[in-house]
Every structure is written in C-alpha cells, then in structure tokens.
C-alpha cells in the first residue's frame, strides 16, 4: 500500500545500520499513514500505530545522528504523500456517489436531435447547483485544491455515431452553461461528449432502453492535491 523504493547504499555504513535505516523509514511511513485508515478497525490500527512508533524510536536510537533524522524525515514525507492520496481518493469516491445519484434524479429532457430543453428544467438545475456546492465543500475540507467538475453527455446508439458524439457534447455544454448561469464558477466545470460509448443498456433495442441511455452524468475529477 505504501510506496517505497530500494535503498541506496551509503558509504561508511554497515549492512546492519543500512537495514535499520530502511526499516525506520518504512515504520515511520506506516505510523504516520495509519490515521488515514481510521474508518476501518480503529482499535487494531491504534495498536499497530503504537508498535510502529515504538519500533521507529528504537531504530532511530540505534542509528542516531543525522542518518537517523534523515530516515525519519524521509518516512514522514512518504507517509504524508500516501495518506493524502488515500484521503483524496476516498473523498472523490464519496462526492461522485452523490453527484452521480443527484444527476440521475435531476435529468433535463432535450428535444429530439437538439441541445434545447423540451421543457423547463430550473428546479433540476438548482438541485445540481446545490450538489456542487456541497461537493466543493467536501473537497475543500479534505484539502483538495485542484479539481474539475465534469458534465458528460450520452446518447443512444441510433443514427450516425459522429453526429451522436457531437450532439452529446452540445447537450453537456448546455448543462454547463445553465449551471454557470446559476453561479457555478466556469473554471471549475467542463463539458464532455461521450456519444454512445458508455451506454447503460447495450443493446438498446427498445425505446425504454434508448431513453435510459440518453442522459448526462455529473462527477468530479481530482487533478492535484
């Protein structure tokens, strides 16, 4: 789970001290990373964290000096990177579960072969804005600074694939335009057309299945921590 590369030999160190340094870095990484997994078995994790902390301290005492400090810092840096990445993935999954569900519940119906709404969709769009506000707060609280909300347009498989792809892009762009008009920052949201590449029903050989495939989806993509 934790990423650690092979140790680099350093002149003047015995195999024993080199081994201790490697173990020390890994122990510290484990110890610092454990809080990110607290949603699981917290009692077992606490015991593991205490043991890792004790073992790391003993190893540092054996090595001592600048070598011990360097190993400790290396372990902490690796741990923070892994813990942050894990936490970001967790919040991304949580946010996307809600965004995808809210998009399913708040679909706007388009006119046939058009990016214009068949009927008013203000209520659905406002619900999506509220979902995006909630999502942004979740991401901010988790320390995520680089993200993009994504509206993807999808069509059924009827007709020309290239035309369907272009139509799905226009429909996604229409949703984004309406959300931006409701104060969603334009730099935080993009539109993408998928055509019939990701059908929910395949084959979509009935009107009901085709209607299910005609949709838009809403999710977040984390670009950086």
Residue 100 within any structural domain of the chain: no
Higher pLDDT among residues 80 and 208, named by residue: 208
Residue 133 in this model has a pLDDT that exceeds 90: yes
Same-domain pairing of 148 and 214: yes
Same-domain pairing of 52 and 148: no
- Lowest mean pLDDT across 23-27, 146-150, 176-180, 194-198: 23-27
CB 99 within 8 Å of CB 135: yes
Same-domain pairing of 110 and 68: no
Burial tier of 76 (Cβ tally within 10 Å: 0-12, 13-18, 19+)? middle
Same-domain pairing of 180 and 113: yes
Residue 194 in this model has a pLDDT that exceeds 80: yes
Residue 6 within any structural domain of the chain: no
Residue 212 within any structural domain of the chain: yes
- pLDDT at res. 163: 97
Same-domain pairing of 114 and 220: yes
3-state secondary structure the chain: CCCCCCCCCCCCCCHHHHHHHHHHHHHHHHHHHHHHHCCCCHHHHHHHHHHHHHHHHHHHHHHCHHHHHHHHHHHHHHHHHHHHHHHHHHHHHHHHHHHHHHHHHCCCCECCCCCCECCCCHHHHHHHHHHHHHHHHHHHHCCCCEEEEEEEEECCCCCCHHHHHHHHHHHHHHHHHHHHHCCCCHHHEEEEECCCCCCCCCCCCCHHHHHHHCEEEEEEEEEEC
Residue 210 within any structural domain of the chain: yes
State how many domains the chain has.
Answer: 2
Same-domain pairing of 82 and 128: no
Q: pLDDT digits over 85-131, tens only?
A: 778 889 999 999 999 999 999 999 999 999 999 999 999 999 999 99
Same-domain pairing of 76 and 166: no
Same-domain pairing of 80 and 131: no
Q: Which domain holds residue 48?
A: 15-88
Residue 2 within any structural domain of the chain: no
Q: What is the mean pLDDT of the chain?
A: 81
Residue 94 within any structural domain of the chain: no
Q: Looking at 38, 61, 88, which one is the last position of a domain?
A: 88
Same-domain pairing of 121 and 162: yes
pLDDT band at 137 (very low <50, low <70, confident <90, very high): very high
């Amino acid at each position: 789970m934790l990423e650690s590369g092979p140790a680099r030999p350093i002149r003047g160190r015995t195999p024993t001290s080199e081994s201790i340094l490697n173990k020390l870095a890994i122990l510290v990484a484990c110890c610092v990373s454990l809080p990110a997994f607290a949603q699981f078995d917290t009692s077992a994790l606490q015991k593991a964290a205490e043991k890792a902390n004790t073992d790391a301290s003993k190893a540092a005492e054996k090595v001592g000096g600048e070598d011990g400090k360097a190993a400790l810092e290396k372990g902490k840096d690796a741990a923070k990177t892994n813990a942050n990445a894990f936490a970001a993935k967790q919040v991304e999954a949580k946010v996307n579960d809600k965004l995808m569900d809210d998009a399913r519940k708040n679909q706007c119906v388009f006119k046939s072969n058009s990016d214009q709404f068949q009927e008013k969709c203000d209520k659905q769009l406002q619900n999506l804005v509220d979902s995006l506000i909630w999502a942004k707060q979740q991401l901010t609280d988790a320390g995520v600074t680089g993200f993009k909300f994504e509206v993807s347009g999808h069509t059924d498989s009827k007709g020309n694939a290239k035309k369907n792809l272009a139509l799905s892009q226009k429909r996604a762009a229409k949703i984004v335009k309406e959300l931006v008009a409701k104060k969603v920052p334009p730099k935080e949201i993009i539109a993408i057309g998928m055509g019939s590449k990701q059908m929910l029903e395949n084959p979509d050989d009935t009107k009901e299945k085709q209607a299910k495939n005609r949709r838009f989806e809403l999710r977040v993509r984390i670009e950086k921590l």
